[in-house]
Structure 1
């Protein structure tokens, strides 16, 4: 169970960017996906979304690609310490960064040579297209979500999860359910998304079946659920069928308690 303290107000979408308070009641859920998210609402506290600086959020998400929070957070902190001085635009600062120095700064994040190139190119893109990180922030928070998403996806090194995280954590947009490795694994394992579904198909299923105000919370809470209960190789149901709060909703696709075998859901089709 999570040690996070309960907040005074439960808001899934966030008050910034048009979010709304969400009620979490599994008994009234319309879909299995919503029932899962509502149960997560009883396990983990509902966080608010929106209000983060968009370019800083983009940088943080790029650093998190293919690595853990434990590794990427120190890289983010070191980058901010070196390149985000008072009065200096972070996009401009990264656009002008010396690549080897930036790579050394973010080395704890893994793939640091590739990520340093992406960050410099992203800084150059923001400078050329918007003029500053502040103007980019206005674009993310004020423009239509579909336009923001398509624009972000046009940038080299920015994939669907990164674009959706910027929309959620900076823009506070409802109806955005970013799909990381936990989300991708869990909803296919449960049988809510097809076993062969890629990240985009899983996102489409969830954004269709989960109310907009609950999508942001669904993303973060599913990650927490994946860390505490439904891990990649040792889900709680292997040890005890009653240990998982989603047991009655889960089809256990790729999980075989009789043999303690766990495979990717897509492998069940082979």
Structure 2
């Protein structure tokens, strides 16, 4: 479990992200999914949601696709160093302004950009997506700041639909922009950890796709807890419920959520671990 335990009170949404202080009490949870998130609330704390510049967040999330933070963070840092220019801040909102970055990336040489972000993997594909996204932001909204306002102020459904129109931007990327830039409550992005864990637990159907898992979680988890649920589930997936070697495989007491998990696709008696969808008869 992480040693980073501060602060003592969980805040889902965050004081600067439009959220409210959230109580995590499994005994009062109405739905099983909420009970799981509340149990995670006893394990982890989460910083604020929202407040990130929308275009910078979009680029960061594209870089993170199909790779780990360990690989994508250096790529993000290198990209910002080469293309970010002089950063500025909106004095009224305290938000970084991604205008220079959007303009730089819309004019970037694809080969040079691919080389810059090579540590993130799939760099040829991601460089094309990033350049296309920068061009789209400038053409559709006129500026990165206008795009930031769109993400913050328009309805989540409208923002999501618009982002999904960009080639290479999928539901998880769109939802991360809504959560981390827009600070939107009720958004529960589904990455590989979330998709695996809630099917393995039996909270979502074993053969559910990413969108079906998202729909189930957003339906059953209170809006103010969704952001925390996303990030805490990822942490839980890295520390306990890994894809190939979950903590319960050798010791049923090693997992702090073992008592609320159906272990779909996990077979401690044989040591086998399969995708939950493959466990459906």
Please state if 1:145 is matched with 2:156: yes
Give the superposition deviation at 1:16: 3.7
* Alignment correspondent of 1:250: 261
Please state if 1:262 is matched with 2:262: no
Instruction: Give the Cα separation in 2 of the matches to 1:22 and 1:46.
Output: 11
1:104 corresponds, among 98, 115, 136, to 115
Instruction: Give the Cα separation in 1 of the matches to 2:17 and 2:3.
Output: 28
Please state if 1:31 is matched with 2:42: no
Deviation string 1:103-141 (CA, Å, 9 cap, x unpaired) is 000000000000001011000000101111111111100
* Alignment correspondent of 2:126: 115
1:217 corresponds, among 228, 232, 249, to 228
Q: Is the 8 A contact 2:17 2:48 kept in 1?
A: no
* Alignment correspondent of 2:91: none
Show the 5 A alignment for 1:146-165: 146-165=157-176
User: RMSD over aligned Cα, in angstroms?
Assistant: 1.1
Give the superposition deviation at 1:269: 2.0
Please state if 1:202 is matched with 2:213: yes
* Alignment correspondent of 2:14: 14
Show the 5 A alignment for 1:54-93: 54-86=54-86, 89-93=100-104
Instruction: Give the Cα separation in 2 of the matches to 1:2 and 1:17.
Output: 23
Instruction: Give the Cα separation in 2 of the matches to 1:44 and 1:18.
Output: 20
2:192 corresponds, among 161, 181, 187, to 181
Instruction: Give the Cα separation in 1 of the matches to 2:9 and 2:45.
Output: 10
Q: What is the count of residue pairs matched by the alignment?
A: 270
TM superposition score normalised by structure 2: 0.94
TM superposition score normalised by structure 1: 0.98
Q: Is the 8 A contact 2:265 2:279 kept in 1?
A: yes
Give the superposition deviation at 1:13: 1.6
SS at match of 1:121: helix
* Alignment correspondent of 2:43: 43
2:143 corresponds, among 132, 135, 156, to 132
SS at match of 1:18: coil
Q: Is the 8 A contact 2:10 2:41 kept in 1?
A: no
SS at match of 1:245: coil
- Larger displacement relative to structure 2 (67-76 or 88-97): 88-97
- Larger displacement relative to structure 2 (78-87 or 67-76): 78-87
Q: List gaps (5 residues or longer) in structure 1.
A: none
Give the superposition deviation at 1:92: 1.0
Give the superposition deviation at 1:17: 4.8
Higher helix share: 1
Instruction: Give the Cα separation in 2 of the matches to 1:53 and 1:218.
Output: 22
